[in-house]
Amino acid sequence: MQDKPKLGFDLSAKKGLSLLGETPLVAETPEELLDDETTPIARFFVRNNGLLPEPAGDPEAWAFTIDGEVEHPLRLTLAELKSRFPHKTFRMVLECGGNGRSFFEPKAEGNAWTNGGAGCAEWTGVSLGDVLRAAGLKDIALFTGHFGADPDKHGSHEQQAMSRGMPIAKALEEHTLLVWAMNGEPLPFIHGGPLRLIVPGWPGSLSQKWLTRIWICDREHDGPGMTGLSYRLPVHPLAPGSDGRGVETRILESMPVRSIVTAPADGARYREGTRSIEVRGAAWAGDDTVTRVDVTLDGGATWVEATMTRPRNRYDWVRWHVSLPLTGDGYYEIFARATDSRGRAQPFRAANWNPNGYGCNVMHRVAITVGPEA
């Protein structure tokens, strides 16, 4: 066990990310650096729940197992996985369950994410469902449990740093992948290489990095990240600041609708006399779809609907843009509001306070100034 754990990774490989924590290593991406349709690896956020494992000597020999409530337990190397099952590539959002946490009042526990605990990459691998069908799910198979090679934040392997799971229905979705490539490159070590899960639309903690095992259970998994208040929300609204003890909770599954402004950046200045600005951004909605994005410059008195691009596949984010007229020089605040396919829109102020700060999706605010510098 280490007396003083080290990062184990040179964060300079990440361009412009903001460090939120060293042990475990956590870094988010400023919204203006999420302006690409496909998030570059160098700008993709980093989230760990433990320390980093030992890198694989031979990535193709990396092995994982599928066992539990299956007819034919499997042990597959990465090379065997690639050779036995159809390859698929989807561009999909990966988002931390605590994204937006810093906007709760009063403050909640955990890393102070703004909106930068998300990115949208091209993931290449095989559908987990194809592999589960090859293993032969028993009738009593109801839930998965995920296990990785990373030690906990103290450097111990006695307990998983994080071990979450999902209902079999989500595991069988085509877009739930066992992934070995990111943006056409071998999956980087810091992002779980050589093999990880990608469970799109749900908290990133489900997308186990450095995957070693998927256990098929006849009940809800109870590993680290599944019990108490961990990745759970109160069933009934809590008064802000409550400790959450003894309240009924549910597992955080599909993430809420969210939009971000990627241009202009917060604090941008425009020359005197500018009378319109171009605003663009991205929006996504967990298991659901984004139906519209609206932008306001006057605190919500009036709204302008943005033009949205068509996503490449399910779970891809929607890119949007809009031209906004300015009435004169001065100070303006831009708010972007996305609405999902169930008619749920982002709020100005979070109304779902919880002790660990999950699911905060308040509208993103960007301030700009038009005119000469003071």
The CATH T-level fold of domain 258-370 is Immunoglobulin-like (2.60.40)
One-letter amino acid for residue 106 of the chain: P
| Residues 35 and 280 sit within 8 Å (Cβ to Cβ) | yes
- Span 12-40, pLDDT tens digits: 889 899 999 999 999 999 999 999 999 99
- Span 302-330, pLDDT tens digits: 999 999 999 999 999 999 999 999 999 99
Picking from 81, 89, 5, the residue whose alpha carbon sits closest to that of residue 48 is 5
Position 138 scores a pLDDT of 98
More confident residue, 13 or 183: 183
Predicted confidence band of residue 373 (pLDDT cuts 50, 70, 90): confident
Q: What is residue 98's three-state secondary structure?
A: coil
One-letter amino acid for residue 87 of the chain: H
What's the predicted TM-score (pTM) here?
A: 0.95
The residue ranges of every structural domain in the chain are: 11-251, 258-370
Domain 11-251: CATH class, spelled out: alpha beta
More confident residue, 322 or 2: 322
Residue 5 confidence (pLDDT) above 50: no
The rounded distance, in Å, linking the Cα atoms of 267 and 273 is 18
| Residues 16 and 34 sit within 8 Å (Cβ to Cβ) | no
**pLDDT > 90: percent of the chain:** 93
Position 177 scores a pLDDT of 99
- Span 323-368, pLDDT tens digits: 999 999 999 999 999 999 999 999 999 989 999 999 999 999 999 9
The rounded distance, in Å, linking the Cα atoms of 122 and 38 is 7
| Residues 222 and 159 sit within 8 Å (Cβ to Cβ) | no
